[in-house]
Each structure stands twice: as C-alpha cells, then as structure tokens.
C-alpha cells in the first residue's frame, strides 16, 4: 500500500470544480471526462448489443473465456454514467476472472426516475435467463449507484419469483436514500468526491418525490435479505457512503446470508477505478475476482483467460 499513491488520487479528486449547482448535462460531461482517465485492461473484445430492450456493452477476454457471466450496472448517482464510464471496472473483472460481462445502459434520472433503472436491470436479467443462461453462472456487480442496483435488482428479482444469481459484488454501493448513516456526517470533508448536499441533490432527481423509506430505495435500513446469494461489499473509509455498506452487511448477517464486508483504509469512493494507479485498487479487484471465481463455476472456453492491463487507448472495440 502506498501513502503517496493515495495522496495523489485524493488530490486529483479534490481539483476545483465550478461553484454552485451544475446542470445535468454538465454533471454527465464532467463524470465522463474523469472516467476516461482510468486504465482499462488490454485484450478485451467489446461489442455493443442490447439486453432486455436496453443498450448494453458486451465485454469478453479475447484469449478465450470461462463459463460465467457478470451482469454489470454502472455508477453515476442514477443521473449520469454509462457502460463506457465503468469500463475500467467491468474490464478488470473480466480480465481477472475470464468471465464475460454485459454492462447495461439503464435509463437515467431525471428523465427516467425510480423505478425505471430497476425495471431495466431486472429486464436485462430476465433476458439472460430467457436466453438459457443458468442463474448459477451469473453474478450481479456494480459500483456506487450501480452497486446499489446490484442489491436492489436482486431484491426485485427475488420478490418476482425469479431464480437468484450466484453472487453479488458491490463497490462503494449507494444503499440508503434516507441518508441516515452516521458517515454522511462524520466523513464530510474527508470524502474528496461527495458532500451531503451533492448526494441529496442527485438523489432527489432519482426519487422524483418517491418516499425513500422503502426497500428498493434504502435496502441498508429496510430490506429483508432472506434467501440472498453470497455478497461482497467493498468500501473505503474515506466515504460518505461507508455506512451504507456496513449496515447492509449487518442486515445480511442477521438474515443468514454469506456476506464479506471488505473495508480499505484511507481510500475514496469507488477506489477500484484506479487500478494500475493505486495498489489498493488492484488488490481489491483481485479479491473480488477470487470471490467470483469461487461462487460462479466455469471452465475455460477456447483458451486461457486474459489478465493483462494497459491504458484505455490500447484496447480494441467492435461495434
């Protein structure tokens, strides 16, 4: 672990931003500009496709893959982000596990508030099942808002009587629209990305007047997790959303769910995006890959799975 690396990442995330509320268009453009700086693994095949009626990015290792599918949900506060902005994470999971992934371009608020995103992610899962995919070979994963969707999609699928996936991986998930976690206050200023005001503003766009006191919006405080598959929750100590993960883990344990709460010191929200820059990011992704490999069985299809990393501009893409 490198103190210097963590300091550089923190400084990058604290760079001055325009004062005052920004438009949705500005939020989206700023997030895209930040995420294009992240390193994406080499030796991936990227194909634009559709899944459940929504655009999706199909990500595969180009040296052959293992039998297993990651259904990935990107972050961005339910307001911004895309499969492309999450590609450093999706690509690293694919490279490290040898599985394929589908990253879903679900509808965003404020144009499409709650529950549009969950409808789209459940629809994508149904499409995988309808195609003949065995749920025991599927894992849900996502970061930030997408980490929250990995959990709430599982809730919605269970309540709809669908078979559940083999595992859930959530990086710095957003799991409490009531914003009642102590870390919302104790980490103010420590978090280099978020303030309570900013989180509540984008959250209000997603809620669009809906009561946050319901399981699909605040699973960390309200969800019954009975019957859930094994979960891995990864979070940093420098996060406003830290207690979203700690409280969901407690609820999972109380419900008899196999859960790993993986907390890394002195790192920011979705620190795993900094793979290749921050040692803790690569180590966390390695742990996530081990977790997935243990729970999503698979054989190698057509060769050895790719594992190398290189800058995003060196990746290959198909359209």
Question: Could you list the active site residues?
Answer: 144, 239, 269
Q: How many Å apart are CA 287 and CA 10, to the nearest integer?
A: 23
Angle (CA) 88-93-95 rounded to 5° is 90
Q: How far is CA 9 from CA 4, 13, 193, 281, in A?
A: 9, 6, 11, 11
Q: How many Å apart are CA 234 and CA 174, to the nearest integer?
A: 12
Are 262 and 284 within 8 A, CB to CB? yes
What's the full length of the chain, in residues?
Answer: 319
Cβ count near 174 (within 10 Å): 31
**Beta-bridge partner residues of 44:** 61
Sign of CA dihedral 319, 314, 272, 232: positive
CB contact burial 124-163 (16+ within 10 A = b; e otherwise): bbebbeeeebebbbbbbbbbbbbbbbbbbbbbbbbeeebe
């Amino acid at each position: 672990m490198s103190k210097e690396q963590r300091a550089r990442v923190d400084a990058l995330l604290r760079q001055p931003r325009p004062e005052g509320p920004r438009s949705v268009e500005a939020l989206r453009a700023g997030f895209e500009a930040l995420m294009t700086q992240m390193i994406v693994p080499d030796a991936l095949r990227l194909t634009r496709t559709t899944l459940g009626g929504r655009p999706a990015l199909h990500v595969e290792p180009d040296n052959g893959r293992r039998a297993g599918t990651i259904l990935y949900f990107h972050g961005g506060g339910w307001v911004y982000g895309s499969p492309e902005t999450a590609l450093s994470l999706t690509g690293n999971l694919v490279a490290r596990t040898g599985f394929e992934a589908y990253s879903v371009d679900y509808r965003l608020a404020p144009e499409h508030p709650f529950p549009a995103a969950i409808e789209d992610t459940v629809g994508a899962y149904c499409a995988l099942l309808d195609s003949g995919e065995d749920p025991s070979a599927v894992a849900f994963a996502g970061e930030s808002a997408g980490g929250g969707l990995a959990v709430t999609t599982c809730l919605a699928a269970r309540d709809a009587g669908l078979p559940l996936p083999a595992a859930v991986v959530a990086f710095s998930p957003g799991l409490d629209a009531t914003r009642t976690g102590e870390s919302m206050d104790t980490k103010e200023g420590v978090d280099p990305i978020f303030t309570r005001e900013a989180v509540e503003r984008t959250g209000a766009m997603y809620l669009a007047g809906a009561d946050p006191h319901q399981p699909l919006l605040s699973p960390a405080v309200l969800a019954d997790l009975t019957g859930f598959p094994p979960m891995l929750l990864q979070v940093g100590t420098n996060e406003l959303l830290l207690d979203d993960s700690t409280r969901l883990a407690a609820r999972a344990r109380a419900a008899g769910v196999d859960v790993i709460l993986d907390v890394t010191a002195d790192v920011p929200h979705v620190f795993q995006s900094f793979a290749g820059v921050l040692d803790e990011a690569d180590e966390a992704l390695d742990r996530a890959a081990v977790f997935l490999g243990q729970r999503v069985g698979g054989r190698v299809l057509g060769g050895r799975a790719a594992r190398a990393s290189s800058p995003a501009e060196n990746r290959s893409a198909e359209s």
